[in-house]
Amino acid sequence: MKCIAIDDEPLALKTLCHYCDQVPSIQLLGAYTDPLDGLSYIKSFQPDLLFLDIRMPELSGIDIANTLGKDILVIFSTAHREYAVEGFELNIVDYLLKPYSFDRFLTAYAKAEERFQMFLNKAAVEQSDSAETLMFRCNYQNIKLPLSEILYIEAFDNYIKIVTPSKTYMPVMTMKNILNQLPESGFVRVHKSFIIPFARIKSFNNETVATDKIQVSVGRTFQKDFLEKMRSLKGLK
């Protein structure tokens, strides 16, 4: 994880840096005795984890923690027990009471690693979900439609028709706009009025393409691109 340490006590900061150096997965980007310098660096480089002293001149660790986004993890290190409750109200990872041992440091860091991995897993799931769905607005509703449900898309005046086995949606959208939102590996425009999922294609030649539901003429403008993609997918020559 990319980390930054801020502590106005040079000896405490030196000890913390020494601990960080012994953990291969910690990439210590910077260590600061001036909290204002540290905050400036945080805003520029967005670390994953902060080690923060609490009582510091001009700007406390709690002040800094209050300015951060939820994606930056915080471990407080302080000689003052009385801030523990306030610290945990900020949803920090852990609270190291000075002086602390290397083993205690490792325990706190392990908690941070666990939470960081949860963030990564959540982001991966969200990215995967986004890649497999189409978001659009139709009839004053926000629709989240699985790409696998789309049978075909057809231009219709100022609308498009997104046809699924159970329902047809008609959002106000151009074919160009909807095509930009679809994965290139999953859909192809075969005509100025039709976009078809590759997975739905049952047969094709130079002039037509057929699915279980429709047969469409391949437009001259789209013919070369369509045939190249189909040959690539099918391994044809």
- Measured CA distances, 78 to 85, 101, 222 (Å): 13, 13, 66
Write down the pLDDT at residue 84: 58
Give dist(CA 151, CA 33) in Å, integer: 61
Coil/strand/helix, residue 56? coil
Query: Do 133-234 and 2-128 have the same topology in CATH?
Result: no
Task: Give bridge partners of residue 30 from the DSSP assignment.
Answer: 4
Query: d(Cα 41, Cα 43) in Å, to the nearest integer?
Result: 5
The candidate with the shortest Cα–Cα distance to 68, out of 57, 80, 77, 76, is: 76
Sort strands 2-6 and 27-32 into parallel, antiparallel or unpaired: parallel
Q: Does domain 133-234 have CATH number 2.40.50.1020?
A: yes
Please say whether the beta carbons of 64 and 38 come within 8 A. Answer: yes
**C-alpha span between 152 and 233 (Å, rounded):** 19
pLDDT on residue 236: 44
How confident is the model at residue 151, as a pLDDT? 96
Q: What is the pLDDT of residue 23?
A: 94
- C-alpha 64/C-alpha 120 separation (Å) is 24
Q: Which residues does the chain have with pLDDT short of 50? A: 235-237
The CATH superfamily label for domain 2-128 reads: Response regulator (3.40.50.2300)
Residues 91-141 pLDDT 10s: 789 989 999 999 999 999 999 998 888 887 776 655 655 568 888 888 888
Find all residues with CB under 8 Å of 113, minimum gap 6, and list them: 1, 25
The residues, any chain, with a CB within 8 Å of residue 86's CB and separated by 6 or more, are: 62
Task: Please list, in sequence order, all residues whose beta carbon lies within 8 angstroms of the beta carbon of residue 166, skipping any fewer than 6 positions away.
Answer: 149
Instruction: Give the angle subtended at the CA of 102 by the CAs of 99 and 103, to the nearest 5°.
Output: 110
Check residue 180 and give its pLDDT.
Answer: 87
Domain-wise residue ranges, the chain: 2-128, 133-234
